[in-house]
Structure 1
């Protein structure tokens, strides 16, 4: 959020998709109002619905490579998708989204959801500190005291951890590609 505030001050702020139609979507066994959680579990996505995100060109119409959005979905520009396909990055599926300008009603089709198919048992449970709630089969990992299993994780360029699915983990290869191409909107944190 600090980067967003700074970019607004500098006049370099990119599009922020502040609303969406996700809460209205009914999809297979997902109840209305919960479609945004589809990214947090493995799904065999067949018939992708009409997904729309909305922004105001009065605020900004400057495209970024990783679209900031209210639902915190991993939405990337098609040029990023094309590069990842060219690099043969495994474990990703791409689904179109419509980015609608609420001022002009113009539709930008330059973005896709980057759905991560890889949900792996990635944590080094012996070194990591966490709490486990047996009733809900829920793990809560302690920040800065969580470790990945290098042997398992090194087999993937991108993944989510099956015991704590919110974060997206990317390889050094992806990080270096993002940096080499000067793609905007991405942010990386080193993981132990």
Structure 2
């Protein structure tokens, strides 16, 4: 089975209603970072590139402990980066999950100035030809050479995708897809913040 990896926004809303909400990153310093090959103010898009990242910069993610200081395993953030707690990183490494490079980020509390260094960007190295273009429904913008797939009619090539535990698909790289193995790891550890949606396969 193949699953789309999302942040569990519904559960977070329930936690907010119960007064047990977790850390939320509402702004970052990524717009100020200058990096070779990346247009200024667009550093946050580096996660969608297949380039090898060298000289990882100092990335600061800001939150307000007056709202919440409770850590979570998969961190909800304004730039939609896949940010994981170090305990997730540790287990993924022990379970030999391949195709990920981990880059440290700093969480900074704007109220106290406290720096939390327990989190990492999960950079996905695998960009594969995973969409079944014959069965999927999509639109193509010739001017920008870009694709947009209809969520209810997107099919993934089972024989290709099952070779990877985690990946993005070329043509439309925003979604992250994971294997049954990763799903089981997340469920066994009862990690908070992850939402997995089963995908159509062909």
What TM-score, normalized by structure 2, do the two folds share? 0.92
The structure whose RCO (Cα within 8 Å, separation 6+) is larger is 2
Deviation at 1:144, TM superposition (A): 0.7
Q: Which runs of 5+ in 2 are unaligned?
A: 1-8
Q: Describe the superposition over 1:108-150 as per-residue Cα deviations: whole angstroms up to 9, x where unpaired.
A: 0000000000011101111111112223221111121010000
- CA-CA distance at 1:4 after TM superposition: 2.7
The runs of at least 4 consecutive aligned structure 1 residues that moved more than 6 Å come to none
Measure, in 2, the Cα distance between the counterparts of 1:190 and 1:124. 16
Report SS of the residue matched to 1:33: coil
Which of 134, 144, 159 in structure 2 is aligned with 1:151? 159
* Higher strand fraction (1 or 2): 2
Query: Could you say what the CA RMSD is over the residues aligned between the two structures, in angstroms?
Result: 0.9
Distance 2:184 2:83 in 1: 19
Deviation at 1:13, TM superposition (A): 0.9
Partner of 1:88: 96
2:62 maps to what in 1? 54
Match of 1:17 among 19, 25, 39: 25
Alignment size in residue pairs: 192
Please list, as runs of the form range in 1=range in 2, the aligned pairs for 1:1-192 lying within 5 A after superposition: 1-192=9-200
Contact 2:127 2:170 in 1 (8 A): yes
Which whole-Å CA distance do the structure 2 matches of 1:88 and 1:28 have between them? Answer: 31
Deviation of the 1:2 alpha carbon? 3.7
